Structures are given as C-alpha cells and as structure tokens.
Amino acid sequence: WLLQRVSAVVMAVYSVALLVILLSIGTGYAAWSGLFANAFFKIFTFVALLSLYFHAWVGIRDLWMDYIKPAGLRLTLHVLTALVLLINTAWTIHILWGMR
C-alpha cells in the first residue's frame, strides 16, 4: 500500500516538473536532446519510471490475487507480469544510457 502511494507521489512530482520544463524550453529536438543530456534529469526520469513499474506491479498483483482463483494460473500471471516489468526496466536503462 505504502509503495503505491509513494510511487504515485514521485510520478506526480515528475509530471509537474516535466510540464514546467516543457513549457519553458519548448518541445523541439534540440530542447529534448539538451534536457536528456543532463545526468540529473536522466536519473529523475529513471526514478519516475521505476515508480511507474512498482505502481503497476502493486496494482496488477492485487488484480491477479483478487480475481484469478486457480493458484497455478495466478502464479503464471505473476511471473509474466514481473518479467514484463523487468524487461521494461532494462529497456528504460537502454533508452536513457544506451549506446547511440
């Protein structure tokens, strides 16, 4: 419960900060490139996306636990959900810090 609340706050702060930044610098390629050249913003983006993945995990886990009664199917769905979220985390790292 606490993890979902904290992750929601992190995502809200990131969303507001991103909106303020975009309104001040614009949305062109040069602006985005400059924004993501900043290591602090990359880390802030990574933390916000990790918060999204944790938030999704808690929500989907509760959904599987509440509505999927066969234990084997529920375990399979938990494992698949965890794999998808881990793949998304790896992809996030690749996008933010990968080779170009």
CA distance 52 to 99: 24
- State the Cα–Cα distance between residues 68 and 74, nearest whole angstrom: 6
Angle between helix 71-97 and helix 39-67 axes, rounded to 10 deg:
170
pTM over 0.85: yes
The CA angle 25-49-63, to the nearest 5 degrees, is 140
CA distances in angstroms from 20 to 23, 26, 82, listed in the order given: 5, 10, 33
Phi, psi of 85 (to 5 degrees): -70, -35
What gap in Å lies between CA 86 and CA 34, rounded to an integer? 28
For residue 48, how many other CB atoms are within 10 A of its CB? Answer: 19
pLDDT by 10s per residue, the chain, length 100: 788 899 999 999 999 999 999 999 888 899 888 998 999 999 999 999 999 999 999 999 999 999 999 999 999 999 999 999 999 999 999 999 986 6
